[in-house]
Amino acid sequence: MKKSKDDAELTKQTIVDAAKDLFAAKGYAATSMAEICSAAGCSRGGLYHHFDSKEDLFIFLADQSFTVSWENWDEVAEDSMTATEQLYRYAEYFVDTLQKPLNKAGEEFISRVGPDSEAGQRFLGILHGYMQRFQNLVQTGLDRGEWKGDNAQELAMIILGYYSGLSDSIQMMSKTEGKQLYRKATMLLLEGIQK
């Protein structure tokens, strides 16, 4: 039987992975703790050994998805790349790391716990940190004169909304097809559709 510390950490991660898929697919409220247990192959008691509450699990999971996703970015993108190259690279990266997007579940979560609650503040902080990193990427493109515009924050918001909205459409696609769609979408954004 698995009861060692390493095994426990593995069990915890199994729960997180299962919960992430379910939250992304069904939303926050529509996903029950019992479903998560069932998908992760553990009991409800076991789950509550690792997480204090549903909110706690969601925030832990969001932090891992949003914050940790940036930690590997520096290995993926090199400074030598142009901002445009980086944006293409990020589009792929988005599909890889956030294919199951938590945006929808996140908004539902916020509306449920309230933006001023402790849980709401923590989640919004995580989200803000994520967007800040992306805004840096956009700022690079503007500073280097590669892209038009002067408002990095607004542009970052638009592009992230773009990618987020597009993720709805790739749920039924393979990862390869999804990346192709994101590449095309990025190309459209860069070059425009107007003749």
List of residues contacting a second copy (CB under 8 A): 25-30, 84, 103-104, 107-108, 111-112, 141, 145-149, 154-155, 157-158, 160-169, 181, 184-185, 188-195
Alpha-carbon gap, residue 123 to 55, rounded angstroms = 10
User: Interface with DNA includes 70 (CB under 7 A)?
Assistant: no
User: Interface with DNA includes 55 (CB under 7 A)?
Assistant: yes
Alpha-carbon gap, residue 67 to 125, rounded angstroms = 10
Alpha-carbon gap, residue 142 to 140, rounded angstroms = 5
Name the segment binding DNA (CB under 7 A); options: 45-53, 91-99, 161-169, 180-188. 45-53
Give the closest residue to 134 by CA, choosing from 148, 154, 114: 154
Name the segment binding DNA (CB under 7 A); options: 29-37, 128-136, 160-168, 184-192. 29-37
Name the segment binding DNA (CB under 7 A); options: 33-41, 74-82, 85-93, 97-105. 33-41
Contacting residues for 146 by C-beta, under 8 A, at least 6 apart: 82, 83, 84
| Of 56 and 92, CB closest to DNA | 56
Give the closest residue to 129 by CA, choosing from 71, 47, 51: 71
Interface residues with DNA (CB under 7 A) are 1-5, 7-8, 11-12, 31-35, 41-46, 48-50, 52-55
